[in-house]
Amino acid sequence: MVQQLVTKGYKPEKVLAYFEELCKIPHGSGNEEAIAKYIENFAKKKGLFVIRDANNNVFIRKEATEGYENAPAYLLQGHTDMVCAKLTTSNHDFERDALDLYMENGWLRARGTTLGGDDGIAVAFMLALLDGEIENHPTIECLFTVEEETGLGGAESFDYSVVTAKKMINLDSESEGEVCAGCAGGVRSKIDFKPTLEASSGDVITLAVDGLFGGHSGVEINCGRANAIILTSNMLSEIAKEQELALVSIFGGEKDNAIPRMCEAKFVVEDSTKAVEVIEKFDAQIREGLCESDAGLKISVSVENDVEDVKTLAQSKELLDMTGSLKVGVLAMSAHLEGLVEFSRNLGVIEVNGENAYITYSSRSSKEEQIDLSITQVDEQVEKIGANVRHTGRYPGWDFLPESDLRDTYVRKFKEIMGVDVQTVVIHAGLECGIIKSRISDMDIISIGPNMRNIHTPDEALDLDSCARLFEVLKAVLSEK
C-alpha cells in the first residue's frame, strides 16, 4: 500500500513529494552519504550527467532544451545536510529515524525535531526541475553540497572545474520576499582541555536552564534571544562571588551555529541555601529582560546536602572567567546598511565532565579583520585556562555588487508573477556563495528561498504556499532566454 503524502493537496506536488522522500533519509551534517547516493541514483535513472565526489558532493547537468542551446547556463545550488536539534522530551534518533512530518495551518513541521527545510527544500526544488517540472530551459547544472551547517566543508572541497555556468541561484534563503545579494564570512573555534580533578565536599547542586527559544546564530543573533549557556555561566559566577564554587560538570547547546536553548550544571558549594537564593534572585531579574520568544524559560534546582569526596574541576574559576569574558551576541552593527549585524559571536556548545572539556564558539563578520580579532580574543582566553583551540571552517563573505544582471532578472520576474517588489538584502548568516564566488570570480549570484521560520530549532516550519509561489518565479527566471 502506497503511503499517502502528508503534503497531499499542496503544490508543487513533485517538489513536495521529493521533500517527503528526503525526510525519510537521515541526513545530519557528516551523515550525507545515503542522501548523496539517492541523488546520484536519481540522476542515473534519468540519464543525466552526474558526479559524486569522495566527500559526497553531487553535481548534475541537464542539457538545454531545443531553442535554448545558446542561452547562458544556470547553476542551482543547495546543501544536503540539516541541523539535528530536538526537544529534550523527544526520543528521535537522527542517525536512524525518518522525520515525523505533520501539517499545521499550511506550514509543514516535524514532531519534536528540526524539519530540515534548511536546506532540504533546495534539494527538492532541484530534483523536481531535473525531473521535468520545467518545459523550456537552458543548460541547468545542480550542485548538492555537504556539511554546510558545520563549516561549509562541501563547498570548500568541491572541484569547480566541471561547472560551465556563470549565473548561480543559491536556494538556501528563508524569506520569499527577499533576494539575498551578500553575506558574512565566519570561523568556528573549538576549545578542548583535559580536566584536572580534585576532591570537594559540601552541598551538590544541579542547576538546569531549559525552555529558551534558541535559533540561528547568524540570522537571529539580533533577535534578543537568551543563550542558555551564558545564563547558566552568569548564575554560577554570581554564586562564586559569595562562596567558593567547584564544578562537577556542565553541558549545554547542540550545535555551534545555533543559539543554545538548554544548559545543565552540577557543582559543589558550602552553603546551598545561599546559592539557591542567588539563583532565585537572578531568575527574577533576567525574566524582566527576556524577549517574548523566551517566555518559556524554566530554571530548576535540586540539592544534595553534605556530600563527601566529589570529583570537581580544578579549572572551575578559569572556565567561568572565560565564558564571562568572551562576549557573545551582536558585537557590532554595520555603519553602511541599516539593521545589518556586522560582527557577532555565539557560544554554541559546552560539554565539561570529569574526563573531557569541549567548548565551541562561532564568529561571523563581513570584515576579515573582525574575524581575525575574534580569533585573537579567543586565543587570549584559551591561553589563560591552559586549553587547546582549533579555528576551523573559516569561510569568506560574499560582497554585495551594485550591478547584477541575474538579480535584475529575478526582481523583474518576481514583480510580474507576485505583483509586488522583492527586497534586496545582505545577511549576517554564512552562505556557500562566498566560497563559490572565490572559486569562480565572474559568477553572478543571488540567493532565494521560500518562507521558513525558526530554522535550527524544533519549531522549524516550512510555508508550503510560499514554496509554490517561489517555484513559479524560479521557473520563470530559468525559462527566459
| 81 annotated active-site | yes
- Residue 270: CB partners within 8 Å, gap ≥ 6? 202, 203, 243, 244
* Annotated catalytic residue, options 40, 119, 141, 148: 148
* Annotated catalytic residue, options 32, 81, 147, 294: 81
Counted residue by residue, the chain has a size of: 481
Residues identified as active-site: 81, 148
